[in-house]
Amino acid sequence: MPKKIASPASGFSHLDAQGRAQMVDVSAKPDSARLAIAEGRVTCAPATIRLLRASALPKGDVLTVAKIAGISAAKATSTLIPLCHPLALTSVGVDFEVEADGIVIRATARITGKTGVEMEALTAVSVAALTIYDMCKAVDKGMSIGGIRVVQKLKS
């Protein structure tokens, strides 16, 4: 079978020697157990958090809806991000920490596969954050989403 020889431009694995976008060829990589954890935060007014604590958080719906949206998005990562590989994730978890003026989101993705899952964890965080934003936007016009980053990545 012919080898695909790509000399990536300046270290960008997603660009070929001509600087053109490409999907990384992971055909020759072995399957490894992989884990990635990502974080992000929805920042809102303290009044919004107080309102959530009074009415919505007791029922849990806001965070459960955001969790489900995050998990579903992680599974859809390769349809959202053009150069991501389709992956059979073995686990996705999304958890929340409610603070005085915001909600921290943490997502964990796992797989036994040929490529890392940090994009899946980041996508889960991003869409969970957007979902919280959507559910709170009627009471708070000044929210923002930030601090989205990978906090841990393991391969074994």
Q: Mind telling me the catalytic residues? A: 134
Q: Which residues, at least 6 apart from 98, have a Cβ–Cβ distance to it below 8 Å? A: 49, 52, 53, 57, 63
* Residues 124-153: x where in contact with a copy of itself by CB under 8 A, - otherwise, as a string: --xx-xxx-xxxxxxx-xxxxxxxxxx---
26 touches a copy of itself by CB under 8 A: yes
Q: Is 9 in the site for a copy of itself (CB under 8 A)?
A: yes
What DSSP string runs through 71-122?
HHHHHTHHHHSTTPPP---SEEEEEEEEETTEEEEEEEEEEEESS--HHHHH
Interface with a copy of itself (CB under 8 A), residue from 45, 49, 73, 101: 73
Q: How far is the CB of 70 from a copy of itself (least distance, A)?
A: 10
Of the candidate residues 7, 58, 97, 102, the single one contacting a copy of itself (CB under 8 A): 58
Q: Of 83, 64, 77, nearest to 117 (Cα)?
A: 77
Asked if 45 touches a copy of itself (CB under 8 A), the answer is no
What are the strands of the beta sheet with 91-99, ordered from one edge? 32-43, 102-113, 91-99
- 76 belongs to the binding site for a copy of itself (CB under 8 A): yes
State phi, psi for 125 to the nearest 5 degrees. Answer: -60, -45
Residue 1 vs 100, nearer CB to a copy of itself:
1
Among 87, 103, 105, 107, binds a copy of itself (CB under 8 A): 87
